[in-house]
Amino acid sequence: MIRILTRSLIVFPPFLLGSLYATWYAAWLALGRSPRAYFDDPKGIQGEFMWIYDLTVCLMVFGTPLFCLAWLLLGLSCLEKRPLGWKVRLSELAVSLGLFIALLVFCDWDPHSVTEWFFD
């Protein structure tokens, strides 16, 4: 069970970044051009695939705090109880934390202004 949870934590940061860019691409399809920050509000764009916006908001609002809580609880559980394969689980948690930090750095860099557009 712990193995499944730690591996799902590895998948969360790339999935969150993918959903952010999928929202931007869905807005591009709906508008017929690249969405612009401060002009094209993602909440107001109507389109066939704009349900991805709701998914991204749910991932950010609910998924990110759950990610942090699960990461903390699993890390403490592995250190305290030391179940079978605990070193592997801690390395998986380290990878998931590294991916999450990479996600934050990439969103701060924001090469295509996707994060700026999403949060404007």
pLDDT of residue 1: 73
pLDDT of residue 78: 87
Neighbouring C-alpha atoms within 13 Å toward the C-beta of 38: 0
Asked whether the beta carbons of 37 and 117 are under 8 A apart, the reply is: yes
* pLDDT for the residue numbered 63: 96
59 conformational bin, left if phi > 0, alpha if psi -120 to 50, beta if neither: alpha
Alpha helices in 1-120 (DSSP H): 2-31, 51-58, 64-81, 86-109, 114-119
* pLDDT at residue 13, rounded to an integer: 97
Listed by start position, the domains of the chain span 2-119
Over its length of 120 residues, how does the chain's per-residue pLDDT go in tens digits?
778 888 999 999 999 999 999 999 999 999 999 999 999 999 999 989 999 999 999 999 999 999 999 999 999 988 898 888 889 999 999 999 999 999 999 999 999 999 999 998
Cα–Cα distances (Å) from 81 to 32, 66, 85, in that order, read 55, 22, 11
Chain center to CA of 25:
16
